[in-house]
Amino acid sequence: MEYRVTCGCGRAVAVSERAAGSRAACPCGRTVDVPSLRELRRLAGAADTVNPVLVIEQLAAAGELPPGRGCARCGRDDAATAHVTATCERSWTKKRDGPWWLTPALPWFARLFVRMAEEAAPAERFGRDVSLRLPVRLCPACRAEVRTRDDVADVLREVPIYARLLDRYPDAALSLPAAEGKTDA
């Protein structure tokens, strides 16, 4: 994609994504500093492509979550912090198959060795586990009303960074432990 960077002379200099973080020559003879790719995209009005998982992890490490002081649903001041577990991705493994095509032609004792070789073969792991603990503020009244996965998703969507997470992982498994002194059926 092509972006435009303004020179001190007022001209717009066309730059590519590869020029991000470098300098570009203007026809007037000056050099123009080209911002980072993220900044170029922001200036062009493109959506932020940073994975919300990374943003949430950084905010949590800095102690900046949960945002706000009141309940995420109603804004009341008597909100306590509840923790939603969001499982966005799960890794999976696939065992490598042995010489299955040989098995029918072998006597039973040779099949046993083929089976043992298949079981000893290392499994390949795909994907990664992405599970986050998302703090959110809820007052006692709203906390009592949050029962289903959709209710939890609605609460999370009240926090912009959590909404971005759910946009990226719409099928994330969400769980909110039952409120203290109360058990869900």
Q: Give me the residues of the chain with pLDDT under 70, please.
A: 47-49, 95-114, 118-123, 179-185
Look at residue 156 in the predicted model and tell me its pLDDT.
95
pLDDT of residue 184: 42
pLDDT at 114: 65
d(CA 86, CA 42) in angstroms, rounded, equals 28
Check residue 182 and give its pLDDT.
47
The 3 state secondary structure assigned to the chain is: CEEEEECCCCCEEEEEHHHCCCEEECCCCCEEECCCHHHHHHHCCCCCCCCHHHHHHHHHHCCCCCCCCCCCCCCCCCCEEEEEEEEEECCEEEECCCCHHHHHHCCHHHHHHHHHHHHHCCEEEECCCEEEEEEEEECHHHHHHCCCHHHHHHHHCCCHHHHHHHHHCCCCEEECCCCCCCCCC
pLDDT of residue 28: 94
* pTM attached to this predicted model: 0.60
Q: How many Å apart are CA 98 and CA 94, to the nearest integer?
A: 12
